[in-house]
């Protein structure tokens, strides 16, 4: 049986490579429809799932500004839409994979995600 198939009472292993931190962080971007601001549902060092009213098309490239708590300057990132949310367990939104993240931004993001993960 594949790990993404579920039967009642079974534990299902995630197919994702990294831990998803369930956290609401402000995000600003062109491409989210009329309102260019939203929040994350979850966040990893490699991407995020965000709530959206309108979904950009798959593979759309987005310029993102992610505001991590406790940091003065937002992270400026480029991402691409890799999944349109249709999971009834999650809010309507999109999965975004970060692309071409500079070393400093990646370190800040990794530090935030791993630090918050230990605080759960």
Query: Which two tokens mark 63?
Result: 């310029």
Q: Does the pLDDT at position 81 exceed 70? A: yes
Characterize the bridge pairing of strands 61-66 and 47-51.
unpaired
Beta partners for residue 51, in sequence order: 93
Whether residue 65 contacts residue 117, with contact meaning beta carbons closer than 8 Å, is answered with no
Average pLDDT of the segment spanning 4-29: 63
How high is the mean pLDDT of the chain? 79
Average pLDDT of the segment spanning 49-72: 88
Q: Does the pLDDT at position 50 exceed 70? A: yes
Assigned superfamily of 26-113: predicted glycosyltransferase like domains (2.40.10.220)
Query: Which two tokens mark 84?
Result: 């349109």
Residue spans of the domains in the chain: they are 26-113
pLDDT of residue 74: 93
SS3 state of residue 40: strand
Average pLDDT of the segment spanning 9-25: 63
């Amino acid at each position: 049986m594949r790990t993404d198939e579920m039967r009642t009472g079974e534990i299902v292993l995630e197919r994702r490579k990294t831990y998803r931190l369930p956290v609401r962080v402000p995000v600003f971007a062109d491409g989210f429809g009329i309102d260019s601001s939203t929040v994350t549902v979850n966040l990893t060092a490699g991407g995020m799932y965000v709530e959206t009213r309108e979904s950009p098309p798959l593979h759309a490239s987005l310029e993102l500004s992610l505001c991590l708590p406790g940091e003065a300057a937002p992270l400026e990132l480029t991402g691409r839409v890799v999944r349109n949310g249709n999971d009834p367990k999650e809010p309507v939104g999109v999965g975004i994979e970060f692309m071409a993240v500079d070393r400093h931004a990646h370190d800040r993001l990794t530090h935030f995600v791993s630090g918050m993960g230990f605080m759960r």
